[in-house]
Amino acid sequence: MIFQFIGQFNNLHLVYTWMTSILSIGLIISSLEDIANRSIYSKTGLLSWKVSRHSSPFFLRGYFSKIFQLILNDQIFQYFLYLKLLLSITLLGLVMGGIISPLVITLLFLLMLLLPLRSQMGLDGAHQMNLVILFGLMIAALAGIDSEISSICLWFIAAELILSYFVAGLNKAFSPIWQKTHALNAIFSTKTYGHETLFRLITNNKAIAFALCWPMVCFELFFVTSLYSVYLCLVFCVVGIGFHLFNAIFMGLNTFLFAFLATYPALFYCVAKINTQ
């Protein structure tokens, strides 16, 4: 049954449909959140263009400066946030109808590039993962979903997923504050990413901090092994879903849930290719 489940991800259309569906739901949420915060991109906001434009000489001088001025200025940029929402909804609607539109994906990718181009401040890992997926998806859609290139794109997305967990795990494993399991206590003590109940639980019982910290580091470090077996892949992915749900519920990292889960079909494809043929 497990082999059957993973085996069906040999079908490129199925993989891209799942990936695009989950991605577009996450993009709709993040676009709505960006629109709710559009004032930070205004003239009087925390990330106004009149300051941001001084962050790179490309924005001030040279051939492209006028283009950047045109597309990244406060007013136009806020319209782009609405356009991003519209395209995300369109992407979901089309994929529900069985269409993966290269045009919509390319436009979305270009719009998503504008955010870090204007300012990297306030962007998170979910945005980075969305960019990775959209880049792969764009090339696959342009080349054709049934093409060999679209298969390479899935390998790239799965590789970025594995790398993201591995790098995060490695940095934690060598960090003194994570080794002593103080990190979770510190994170949950904040209002930004913390949680009152979990903070009290972890503070009063060091065993809980240990039980949450090291399995998470091990999960991130050894996620790469999911490539070697269908069973391992399912175990790691179930744990991964739990991990991102936990982060969404207890840390408020809601958009990470969709951005990372959208990459799992790509991993299933790679695992199916390695293990079921």
Q: How far is CA 119 from CA 77, 230, 262, in A?
A: 12, 41, 25
Q: How far is CA 221 from CA 20, 77, 114, 225, in A?
A: 27, 39, 32, 9
Nearest to other proteins of 36, 70 (CB atom): 36
Task: Report, in Å, the least distance between residue 159 CB and other proteins.
Answer: 6
Task: Report, in Å, the least distance between residue 1 CB and other proteins.
Answer: 30
Task: Report, in Å, the least distance between residue 82 CB and other proteins.
Answer: 15
Neighbours of 243 (CB within 10 A): 20
Nearest to other proteins of 8, 43 (CB atom): 43
Side-chain-side CA neighbours of residue 48 (13 Å): 7
Nearest to other proteins of 121, 274 (CB atom): 121
Task: Report, in Å, the least distance between residue 263 CB and other proteins.
Answer: 12
3-state DSSP of 14-47: HHHHHHHHHHHHHHHHHHHHHHHCHHHHCCCCCC
Nearest to other proteins of 132, 227 (CB atom): 132
Amino acid letter, residue 57: P
Task: Report, in Å, the least distance between residue 147 CB and other proteins.
Answer: 9
3-class DSSP state of 144: coil
Distance CA 42, CA 62 (A): 25
Question: Where is 108: in which H helix or E strand?
Answer: helix 102-118
Nearest to other proteins of 7, 254 (CB atom): 254
Nearest to other proteins of 104, 184 (CB atom): 184
Task: Report, in Å, the least distance between residue 5 CB and other proteins.
Answer: 26
Distance CA 51, CA 178 (A): 36
Task: Report, in Å, the least distance between residue 43 CB and other proteins.
Answer: 5
Rounded (5°) CA angle 134-2-129: 15
Nearest to other proteins of 91, 220 (CB atom): 220
